[in-house]
């Protein structure tokens, strides 16, 4: 997960705990770097899903998910993403979101 600013860390930690409970590995990029740099680094590391967390995501309790290799990101609820990711882990697939 990539928080837009340090204000969003608490929400990232809350989401991280929810996702770890269902067996999804999650890390939070806490570095003091620009958002574009963090996203580029995550793409180079071939991280399957990048969740960018900002004000909108905090208010709506959602995730802005970008799948590796895609240019478009999608807004998903936490429960929808948990279900999707858990299903892909179970089936060992990498389906489109």
Q: Please report, for the domain that includes residue 21, its CATH number.
A: 3.40.50.800
- Tens-place pLDDT, residues 40-53: 999 999 999 999 99
Asked whether the beta carbons of 65 and 88 are under 8 A apart, the reply is no
What pLDDT is stored for residue 87 in this prediction? Answer: 86
What's the mean pLDDT in 56-75? 94
Q: Is 13 helix (H, G, I), strand (E, B) or coil?
A: helix
Q: Is residue 15 part of a domain?
A: yes
Look at residue 97 and tell me if it is in a domain. Answer: no
The reported pTM is 0.86
- Predicted local distance difference test score (pLDDT) of residue 33: 94
Tell whether 85 is covered by a domain: yes
In a domain, 95, yes or no: no
pLDDT attached to residue 78: 95
Report the distance separating Cα 39 and Cα 18, nearest Å.
22
Q: How many domains does the chain have?
A: 1
With cut-offs at 50, 70 and 90, classify the pLDDT of residue 91.
Answer: confident
Q: How many CA atoms lie within 13 A of 1 on its CB side?
A: 29
Range of the domain at 34: 2-90
| Residue 94: pLDDT over 90 | no
Q: Give the Å distances, CA to CA, from 86 to 8, 59, 65, 92.
A: 24, 24, 15, 10
Sequence-distant (6+) residues with CB within 8 A of 72 are 66
Residue 79 lies in a domain: yes
């Amino acid at each position: 997960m990539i928080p837009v600013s340090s204000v969003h860390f608490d929400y990232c930690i809350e989401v991280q705990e929810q996702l770890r409970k269902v067996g999804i590995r999650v890390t939070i990029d806490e570095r003091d770097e620009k958002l574009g740099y963090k996203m580029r680094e995550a793409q180079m590391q071939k991280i399957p899903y990048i969740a960018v967390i900002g004000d909108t995501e905090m208010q709506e309790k959602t995730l802005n998910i970008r799948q590796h290799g895609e240019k478009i990101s999608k807004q998903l609820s936490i429960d929808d993403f948990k279900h999707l990711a858990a299903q892909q882990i179970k089936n060992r697939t990498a389906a489109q979101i």
